[in-house]
Amino acid sequence: MEKQLEKQEKQLDKHAAHKLFKNHLILALSEAGAYVWANETGTIQAKAGYYITYGKTGSADILGVWHGLFLAVEAKTGTGRQSEHQTIFQTNIAKQGGIYHVARWDKQENIKNAALREVAAIRDRIKGII
């Protein structure tokens, strides 16, 4: 069953893979004791024809608090790279004493294991601060 799931994970398109990885990260962070939520950004067209932009451009996919520290996690799959706006957001979070982490899943390992690995890395960073 697990091998079948891994095969299905590898066949996901980039948007579906990103969403699934983000959801696994949120679940793993929550189970580890963090208070986190998905941070959506984008633009939609209203029925009247005008566009509505929501969220902060460049902000991380996941925001929250862990051990009293602001946490921002950017989920990247495959060869995904940070945009210029994301790098600026990362710099601003670091300047304010928050934790910004780029979580990666290259589809070479089980997605759940990748999420757990990334959460462990975040936990280690926090331990070095508190």
User: Using CA atoms in the order 112, 22, 88, 59, what is the torsion angle rounded to 10 degrees?
Assistant: -150
Query: Can you give the pTM of this predicted structure?
Result: 0.88
Report CA-CA distances (Å) from 34 to 41, 57, 63, 82.
Answer: 22, 24, 10, 24
In total, how many domains does the chain have? 1
What is residue 4's predicted lDDT score, i.e. its pLDDT? 57
Predicted confidence (pLDDT) per residue in 82-119, tens digit: 999 999 999 999 999 999 999 999 888 999 999 999 99
Domain that holds residue 30: 2-127
CATH number assigned to the domain comprising residue 114: 3.40.1350.10
Reply yes or no on whether the pLDDT at 2 is more than 70: no
